[in-house]
Homo-oligomer: A and B are copies of this chain.
């Protein structure tokens, strides 16, 4: 994943130098960036573009906002196409002014609306279930079971799920649901980080692998048993780590990845 304090050029250079093989691009790093130059940066690097992060945020009680979300997701598809990203991760969204069921309906409708563009661009879409602590404002899809059901109902080889250990580690049905999406060729992405004990911020207090309580190797094993051979993507939102020297942080990530993932 692109690294919040670094711009795209820095990320590409530093990750390549560190021997990292792939990069997922957060769209915010593309802002103010010349698309042609960004493309050249990536083409000239050994890095494989894994995904574009993020689309989604479909639900709203306001029709205008729902239409705006469709526009934004179509833009994301064109960005993914431009950068050769084969996948967009969807943080699906939620609107606390309506029921979670209604928000989930609108998520499904939104995905179905953008699907033709995604197919013609050759860009897959991954529904990422988010931890239930984000139900009210970030995602009405909160379990892998819900994401699997939605992907199966949409029933396109271009729509699957993203498994992030941070969001799903607590779920007693996780192993079963990972097997389910694997069996159906719907497991499109795998993200790792750790759950700090205690966690003090709802958004930006994720831990380095090994610092928290998630049994990451066990979950990775479930993922790999499905035949998944994609990237293990490190995604750690952390005010603490973003505040430190980012070269040292990258070293820490590498060590944590090699020893605790």
Residues of A that sit less than 8 Å from B by CB: 96-97, 99-101, 131-133, 135-137, 142-143, 146, 169-172, 195, 197-200, 202, 212-213, 215
Give the number of copies in the complex.
2
Contact partners of A99 in chain B: CB under 8 A:
215
What is the predominant secondary structure among interface residues of chain A facing chain B? loop
Contact partners of A146 in chain B: CB under 8 A:
172
5 of the cross-chain contacts (CB-CB < 8 Å) are: A97-B213, A133-B199, A136-B213, A137-B197, A137-B198
Distance to closest chain B CB from A138 (angstroms): 10
Q: Tell whether, in the assembled complex, residue B197 and residue A96 are in contact, meaning their CB atoms are under 8 Å apart.
A: yes
State in angstroms the CA–CA spacing of A56 and B198 once bound together: 19
State in angstroms the CA–CA spacing of A146 and B172 once bound together: 8
State in angstroms the CA–CA spacing of A89 and B97 once bound together: 32
Contact partners of A198 in chain B: CB under 8 A:
136-137, 202
State in angstroms the CA–CA spacing of A99 and B131 once bound together: 18
The residue on B at minimum CB distance from A98 is B213
Distance to closest chain B CB from A203 (angstroms): 10
